[in-house]
Amino acid sequence: MSPHTWRRRRHHLELHLADGRVEHVPVPVDGLLTNTPGALTTDAAADLLHLDGTLQALAWTLRLKSETAARTLIQLRAGSRPRSVDSLPAGSDPLTYATTEHALRVEQLDNVEITAMTLREFVICLDLGGPLAEAADGWQRDPAPPAGVEAFVDADHFIAAEPRRAQRAVWGGTVLDGVEVWGTQWRREPDDRPGHLEPYGIVGTWALGYLPATQELYAVRRETGQPRTVWLLGRGFAVIEDVADVLAPILPTMRRPNSLLYAADAVRASRRPRLVHPPGGTG
């Protein structure tokens, strides 16, 4: 339970922090919290994180809709008639409809992303501990592959670079010959997707795995309809127990924003040479 509390004023919403500070909630966030039934509870930290998850899930949906609208517009301008305009009323101009639809979806997405950014900046500036600090740290992580990580556009390229990484599938193709027992919901923005059963409505799409044949630790994106991007996180893990020792401390972080980056950090730290002083040394 968060020690911070909400207080409604006549024209604004305040967040009263445990350290005595009183912060005015920014306008777009204020409106969503006060006008959405059930959005304000006795756990202010959870309310803020739930709102962030809701906004991220909505942005994900609007992003898909804007991409679909863009494809429809491109097809119409090229002279073809996509099925998406077949249901228009007689006499409607498909090009006008598609242009309006695309502009609307883009505007909606922009508004949601701006609101989400405002919320995150507000939480980051609070400089608190607990779940809000964990989320703020994750939001500020660069989602690009960090130093020491090799990125592959998909599993096929990863296997082509080292055939020992594959095994023959029952359907005749090749798949990763890895052991993936450390969770399948590692997060990396913007690869997250809506997860209605999750506490904050968002879920990761990456899994961590170990390849015994090559003694490698990898991460793979497993999202239907998307390339199975692979990150090679580290080499030289002789047995699976070595991997378990490295990953065990960070398993509880899996559902935090950009948790995949924390996994990469842990692997990189485990591969660094340790300074060992000889017997009788002065260190």
255 and 162 in a common domain: yes
pLDDT at 118 over 80: yes
246 and 221 in a common domain: yes
135 and 12 in a common domain: yes
Looking at the domain assignment, is residue 276 inside a domain?
no
Range of weakest confidence among 12-26, 87-101, 124-138, 202-216: 87-101
Domain span at 120: 5-139
Residue-wise pLDDT for 158-182, tens only, equals: 999 999 999 988 887 889 999 999 9
- Reported pTM: 0.85
Give residue 7's pLDDT.
Answer: 94
Question: CA-to-CA distance for 164 and 213, rounded, in angstroms?
Answer: 6
Looking at the domain assignment, is residue 281 inside a domain?
no
Question: CA-to-CA distance for 100 and 76, rounded, in angstroms?
Answer: 13
In one letter, which amino acid is 135? A
Q: Of the candidates 110, 139, 168, which is a domain's last residue?
A: 139
Residue-wise pLDDT for 190-240, tens only, equals: 899 998 767 678 999 999 999 999 999 999 999 988 899 999 999 999 999
156 and 124 in a common domain: no
265 and 239 in a common domain: yes
Q: Of the candidates 139, 164, 198, which is a domain's last residue?
A: 139
What does each C-alpha distance from 206 to 192, 194, 222, 266 come to in angstroms? 9, 14, 6, 16
Total domains present in the chain: 2
Looking at the domain assignment, is residue 242 inside a domain?
yes
210 Cβ partners below 8 Å, 6+ apart? 178, 179, 180, 216, 217, 218, 237, 240, 243
Residue-wise pLDDT for 44-84, tens only, equals: 999 999 999 999 999 999 999 999 999 989 988 888 887 87
Between 198 and 98, residue with greater pLDDT: 98
Pairing outcome for strands 216-221 and 206-211: antiparallel
High-pLDDT (> 70) share of the chain, %: 95
Three-class secondary structure of residue 81 per DSSP: coil
Q: Which residue has the tokens 């305040």?
A: 14
Looking at the domain assignment, is residue 144 inside a domain?
no
Looking at the domain assignment, is residue 63 inside a domain?
yes
155 and 96 in a common domain: no
Q: Of the candidates 139, 174, 200, which is a domain's last residue?
A: 139
Do residues 50 and 200 touch, judged by C-beta distance below 8 A? yes
88 and 20 in a common domain: yes
Of 80, 75, 81, 30, nearest in space to 51 by CA: 30
34 Cβ partners below 8 Å, 6+ apart? 8, 13, 40
102 and 227 in a common domain: no
123 and 164 in a common domain: no
79 and 40 in a common domain: yes
Residue-wise pLDDT for 232-275, tens only, equals: 999 999 999 999 999 999 999 999 999 999 999 999 999 765 55
110 and 15 in a common domain: yes
Looking at the domain assignment, is residue 77 inside a domain?
yes
95 and 9 in a common domain: yes
Q: Which residue has the tokens 């990150």?
A: 231
Token pair for 133? 């600090």
Residue-wise pLDDT for 29-41, tens only, equals: 999 999 999 999 9
High-pLDDT (> 90) share of the chain, %: 74
Question: CA-to-CA distance for 283 and 279, rounded, in angstroms?
Answer: 10
Looking at the domain assignment, is residue 243 inside a domain?
yes
Give the distance from CA 3 to its chain's centroid.
Answer: 27
